[in-house]
């Protein structure tokens, strides 16, 4: 015998669309997600567990501040009316009422058959939406990833630099960047061939990434044989120390380079710049400073590190 349906479902979400509190009816309304319901879980994660229409738990309207009108959807052969309100601090109050049972799709159709058809339709709809979301996420990742090395590309670096610049500025934290260039890489390509050059780039990218351990640290391919690292909340001393670690790590690979004037193996030159006290909104000053220090490292014979504070904050 079917369990009696809920009559009212109440849930509160914070401004980040994360669950704050809920009634037993909410757990029944989203029964497929009952096992994961907990404070802090996102509305998206709850919806992903359920075979329900997307609007059943779509809180994207909250960022605009205007609640949608009351709407109805079908859940377990019941018509559910959903009303939503925006409270203080961006909290969303969602109230759903179970109104009435939905009619059979056809008078001669058994309840079980009708339910199977509805369930199948919901499953197909949910699968299509999930596939579309996965494809969108995959395309977004591809747009921010270097195709050869698999690390972040310049676009991703530039976007994250602006974000970290503003965050560190607001929190009065230092921000460092390291510009890296493979020494005499054109000669390497000409001598060993472009396929070997691609393998070399992949190995160096992987090694650089393996030597950045903090979640916020980033290594990206800036272009050609140039790489860059973004080190939030890192002062000049620690950034220079990390650069020295990276230089040693690449030397330790001992990749032969018969045409280098710096060493008999592949080496890198590094320029380190730190914005100790960020002022202004132009994050490109940090890039220019690190690029100049990279040039200084090359002028000093390559295979070394040059570092300094970024003093231009216009």
Residues 293/307, Cβ–Cβ less than 8 Å: yes
Residue 101 CA: distances (Å) to CA of 8, 74, 111: 14, 9, 11
Does residue 298 sit in helix, strand or coil?
Answer: helix
Instruction: Output the CA torsion 136→140→145→146 (10° steps).
Output: 80
Strands 268-275 and 305-309: parallel
Of the residues 72, 225, 233, 261, only one is catalytic, namely 225
Distance CA 69, CA 85 (A): 10
Q: Please name the residues in contact with 205: beta carbons below 8 A apart, sequence gap of 6 or more.
A: 146, 149, 150, 151, 219, 221, 227
Active site residue 83: no
The residues assigned a catalytic role are: 225
């Amino acid at each position: 015998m079917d369990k009696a349906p809920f009559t009212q479902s109440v849930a509160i979400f914070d401004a980040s669309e994360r669950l704050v509190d809920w009634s037993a009816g909410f757990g029944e309304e989203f029964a497929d997600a009952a096992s994961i319901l907990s404070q802090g879980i996102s509305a998206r994660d709850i919806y992903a567990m359920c075979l329900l229409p997307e609007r059943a738990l779509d809180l994207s309207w909250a960022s605009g501040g205007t609640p949608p009108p009351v709407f109805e959807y079908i859940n377990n052969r019941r018509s559910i009316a959903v009303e939503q309100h925006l409270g203080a601090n961006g909290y969303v109050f969602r109230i759903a009422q179970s109104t009435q049972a939905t009619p059979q799709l056809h008078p001669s159709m058994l309840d079980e058959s009708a339910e199977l058809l509805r369930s199948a339709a919901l499953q197909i709809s949910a699968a299509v939406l999930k596939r579309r979301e996965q494809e969108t996420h995959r395309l977004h990742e591809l747009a921010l990833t270097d195709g050869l090395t698999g690390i972040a590309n310049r676009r991703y670096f530039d976007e994250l630099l602006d974000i970290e610049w503003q965050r560190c500025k607001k929190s009065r934290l230092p921000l460092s960047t390291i510009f890296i260039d493979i020494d005499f890489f054109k000669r390497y390509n000409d001598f060993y061939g472009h396929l070997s050059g691609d393998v070399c780039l992949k190995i160096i990218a992987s090694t650089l990434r393996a030597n950045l351990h903090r979640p916020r640290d980033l290594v990206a391919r800036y272009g050609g044989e140039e790489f860059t690292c973004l080190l939030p909340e890192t002062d000049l001393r620690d950034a220079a120390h990390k650069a020295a670690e990276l230089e040693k790590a690449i030397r330790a690979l001992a990749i032969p380079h018969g045409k280098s004037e710096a060493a008999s193996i592949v080496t890198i030159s590094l320029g380190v710049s730190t914005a100790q006290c960020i002022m202004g909104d132009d994050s490109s000053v940090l890039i220019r400073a690190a690029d100049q220090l990279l040039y200084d490292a090359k002028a000093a014979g390559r295979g070394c590190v040059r570092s300094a504070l970024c003093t231009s904050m216009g």
